Amino acid sequence: PYVIVCNHQASLDLVGMAEIIPDHCVPIVKKELLYMGTVGWACWLSGMIFIDRHKREDAINVISQTARTMRHENVR
Whole-model pTM: value is: 0.65
**AA letter at 14:** L
Tell me if residue 51 falls in helix, strand or coil.
Answer: strand
Each domain of the chain, given as residue ranges in start order, spans 28-74
Q: Could you report the per-residue pLDDT of 15-60, keeping only the tens digit for each? A: 777 777 777 777 888 898 889 888 888 888 888 889 998 999 998 9
DSSP single-letter state for residue 29:
E
User: CA quadruple 67, 1, 29, 43: dihedral positive or negative?
Assistant: negative
Q: How many CA atoms lie within 13 A of 47 on its CB side?
A: 7
